[in-house]
Structure 1
Amino acid sequence: MAQLDVIIFAMWRSIPLTLFWFTYFGSLGIFYPLFSLYLRENAGLTGSQVGIVLAISPLIGMIAQPLWGQIADRTGARGRTLALLTLGTAFGYLWLGVARGFSSIVIAMVALALVGTAVFPLMTSVSLAILRSAGRHAFGHVRVWGTIGFFALVLIFPWILKHYGAPGSAAPTQLAQPGLELMFPVTAALVFVSAVIAWFLPSKGAVAMRAARGDWRELLHNRAFLRFLFFSLVANFLMHGPMWLFPLFVRSRGGDVETIRSMWILMLTIEIPLVLLTGSGIKRLGARGMLTVGVLVGGARWLLCALVHDPVLLFAVQALHGITVVGLNLGSPLYLDVVAPEKLRSTAQGVLSMVSAGIAGIASNATSGWLVDHGGTDLLYLICGVGCLALGLASFWILPAVRRQDSVRQEMAVTSETLT
């Protein structure tokens, strides 16, 4: 009965956390699908300039993510650090919205990336700490509201744009999507709400554990951590490029914008219940098993994309996206939260983001673009599919098994472990 009371109390404390995930991911549901379109159409940048602007976040994030993670671990003020970073991100979106011209946009994007790229790894580590005693399913039940928020704003913002975004002048009608600059104040408003919520997150207990100076060196001697980083580097190298270039793949098969939108709706619809079942996946497979399944299913998806030409079957194949997200994107932070020391939780998550979104993301996007230019989209998906399948088969050799220290602590540790 006492343990049940602890779980109920922890779930009650997770309500602000749930609201944070919903509002922050809702902002991403506006920004990420539309930002490149804004740069090309509304800001009038060239293709090369768009590529440079989009490369800023992963480049800056390679430094900002582990740096802010170390600050949070050294001070123990993870919740307050998250609130300040989120507030800075809100102002960054406003600055980006008023920036005009390539140089001004680059400067604003650098400022946004300095704080914005560190929000996700820090919100993950804070969530895992707060939910450590809330039960196996707690993280999935909180994290799913991020997906719901993303999905909701993907559907709602076009309506907002239609009614409030386009001015009555004739000039904007020449654009593919007039009034798109409205995305910045709306995104900033949602992120500002997230910052206010973050200020009220719990600040005591596991979330306040402090690391001493030089403790980060423990990660350099943690073999399980280093082997996991290698696995994450390869997995994300095989995933990022095909995902970012997915619209080009759909176009190569005769699809259009509506086809892409319909596929995303299917992918998110499948993803939501699977995220809710994260606790069951952890119980049956463990974090290492989830990673293996995620990579294997991701490989099967890319391979089928390369080989299947029937539009109906190709549409159905995209349902595999949800399994990959839960297995890889949730399994990664979950596994890391067990193998990394608690006092270095934020630093470890920051390093993971640096490797997966930064190093692997940049290398994958560049390599994928080259493959598409020289061999076509089918070759890209064929190579990445085979690579993912090979990595999945080798995962139990690469990743050490997670040791269970004691039944309660391990269940909570795996539960609290956790894109997009």
Structure 2
Amino acid sequence: MPASASERVRLSAFYGVYFAGLGAFGPYWGLYLDSIGQTALQIGFLTALVQVTRVFAPHLWGSLADRTGQRQRVVHWATLASALSFVLLFWGQSFWWAALATFLYSFFASAALPLVEATTLDWARRMQASYGRIRLWGSLGFIVFALGLGILIDGFGPQAFLVTCTLLFLGAWLVSLPLPRGEPHPHHAAAGESLGQLLRRPGVLAFFLACALEQASHGPYYAFYSIYLQQHGFSGVGIGLMWAFAVACEVGFFLASDRIIAYLGLRALLLGSFVLTTVRWVLIGLWPGLGWVIFAQALHAASYGAFHAAAVNLTYQQFPPALRARGQALYSSLAFGLGGAIGGALAGWTWGQAGGGASYAVAAVLAFLGLLLAARATGRMAVARAL
């Protein structure tokens, strides 16, 4: 097998297994916590805790990888540590024990994706290959386990969640071993601007804050969507199907992403994703029946797929090679970390106080505010039409 094909397979395999773990964890984390007696506020806190570690941990890992030039090694050890940390959940169900295990798991798990994203974008640019066609394997892995774990939980109960997630997190460690090392960019090779100077470029910091608002709007979706569907009569299998359908639509976007980006450009794609994210939360909050839920789940192609593809490419454009791992880590920290933490905590509070409809109304407002900020930020940034 040619080296380029072998590297494509290794990158695709990592995305597949890594996101399979997220497909098992994300849809059922709230249900698992509910099954062991955690309150709505505690579920919101524990969901937010996953995001809180992403505020600071990715930057630490990205800085370490850029300074040492050892992205692959950092990914390898961090994925192993995250799997071992998750095992702690087998030995306790109290709130504080779950908080400890959640913090350690997320602290180490947050290292992997930004570093692999930087390596994949480097590789795709060097080989003139499609990022989307590698990234879609992550979406496929997510689908299989978002659906499959629902079946296992219906048959074997909540313990199936812990066993499946542990095996998949260990699998992510195994497939990290042969990852390409990426382009070596030692810290001293950084030409010109520092990280702080780059963030002071017109629009850059505002762009990251807009991404944080978009991810904050997903708070009730990631923390309570499965519970919300359960309250409206969906079975475990039905819940898995809804999650799997959403990610199938995301796969469709990634398959066509090169053509869509070439037609729309990165700025229009980003702003369009904010508009459709706002629409999605309005639909879920007002009409939780089957037909509208299916339509709203189809919009996951925009609220995650299009948004993420545009955001990682725009981030890549703003940072020189020596700072690209930290650039992707900063995007992850502010969008999925800060935004996710605020969204999870806010969702826990609004859900406990006023229920699901109010939570999704707040989510829609956050996405709309993100749209306004993103439009202003990308109007001031130096944005190429495509990568």
**Which category of TM-score, normalised to the shorter sequence, fits these structures?**
0.7 to 0.9
For residue 195 of structure 2, the aligned residue among 189, 201, 216 is 216
Cα contact 1:242–1:380 (8 A) shared by 2: no
1:290 equivalent to 2:284? Answer no
Letter in 2 for 1:187: L
Equivalent residue number for residue 3 of structure 1: none
Map of 1:118 onto structure 2: 111
Unaligned runs of 5+ in 1: 1-7, 167-175, 405-409, 415-420
Q: Structure 1 residues 46 and 246, CA, compared in 2 at 3 Å: closer, same or farther?
A: closer
User: What displacement does 1:383 show?
Assistant: 4.3
Q: Determine the C-alpha separation between the residues in 2 that align with 1:12 and 1:159.
A: 34
Whether the 8 Å contact between 1:97 and 1:185 is mirrored in structure 2 is no
* Whole-angstrom CA distance in 1 between matches of 2:348 and 2:97: 27
* Paired letter, 1:275: F
The yes-or-no answer on 1:57 pairing with 2:50 is yes
The match for 1:279 is: 258
Q: Which moved more, 1:225-234 or 1:152-161?
A: 152-161
2:144 equivalent in structure 1 = 152
Structure 1 Cα separation of the partners of residues 126 and 203 of structure 2: 24
Kindly indicate whether the alpha-carbon contact (under 8 Å) linking 1:85 and 1:116 is maintained by their aligned counterparts in 2.
yes
Structure 2 residue 176 is the aligned partner of structure 1 residue 195 = yes
Write the letter of the residue equivalent to 2:106: A
The structural deviation recorded for 1:190 is 1.4
User: Aligned partners of 1:236 and 1:57: how far apart in 2?
Assistant: 13
Identity %: 21
Q: What is the CA-CA distance between 1:226 and the residue it aligns to? A: 1.1
Q: 1:86 aligns with which of 79, 103, 108?
A: 79
1:177 pairs with 2:158: yes
Partner of 2:294: 315
CA RMSD of aligned residues (A): 3.1
Q: Matches of 2:351 and 2:166 in 1, distance apart?
A: 35
Is residue 2:118 matched to residue 1:139? Answer: no
Q: Which has the larger radius of gyration?
A: 1
Q: Would the alpha carbon gap of residues 59 and 302 (structure 1) be closer, same or farther in structure 2, given more than 3 Å must change?
A: closer
Instruction: Please say if residues 294 and 327 of structure 1, whose CA atoms lie closer than 8 Å, have aligned partners that are also in contact.
Output: yes
From 178, 181, 205, the equivalent of 1:226 is 205
Alignment-mate amino acid for residue 278 of structure 1: S
Aligned CA distance change for structure 1 residues 78 and 162 (closer, same or farther; 3 Å): same
**What TM-score, normalized to structure 2?**
0.86
Q: Given the superposition, is the C-alpha separation of residues 178 and 238 from structure 1 closer, same or farther in structure 2, using an over 3 Å criterion?
A: closer
Conserved in 1, the CA contact under 8 Å of 2:58 and 2:114?
A: yes
2:316 aligned partner: 337
The amino acid across from 1:195 in the alignment is S
Residues of 2 paired with 1:367 and 1:161: CA distance? 28
More displaced 10-residue stretch of structure 1: 46-55 or 282-291: 46-55
Asked whether the 8 Å contact 2:45–2:345 carries over to 1, the reply is no
1:240 is matched with which residue? 219
- Any unmatched runs of 5+ in structure 2? none
Contact 1:61/1:117 (8 A) holds in 2: yes
Q: Of 338, 341, 351, which residue of structure 2 is paired with 1:362?
A: 341
The reply on whether 1:30 has 2:24 as its aligned counterpart is yes
In structure 2, what residue type is equivalent to 1:250? L
8 Å contact kept, 1:227–1:398? yes
Q: 1:369 to 1:332 in 2, by over 3 A?
A: same
Residue equivalent to 2:330: 351
Whether 1:16 and 2:13 are equivalent positions in the alignment is: no
Q: 1:261 maps to what in 2? A: 240
* Residues in 1 aligned to 2:280 and 2:100: alpha-carbon distance in whole angstroms: 38
What is the number of equivalent residue pairs in this alignment? 382
In structure 2, how many angstroms separate the alpha carbons of the residues matched to 1:215 and 1:35? 39
1:328-352 CA distance string (max 9 Å, x none): 1222111111112221111122222
For residue 320 of structure 1, report the CA deviation from its aligned partner: 1.4
- Give the structure-1-normalised TM-score: 0.79
| CA distance in 1 between partners of 2:40 and 2:284 (Å) | 26
Letter matched to residue 360 of structure 2: Y
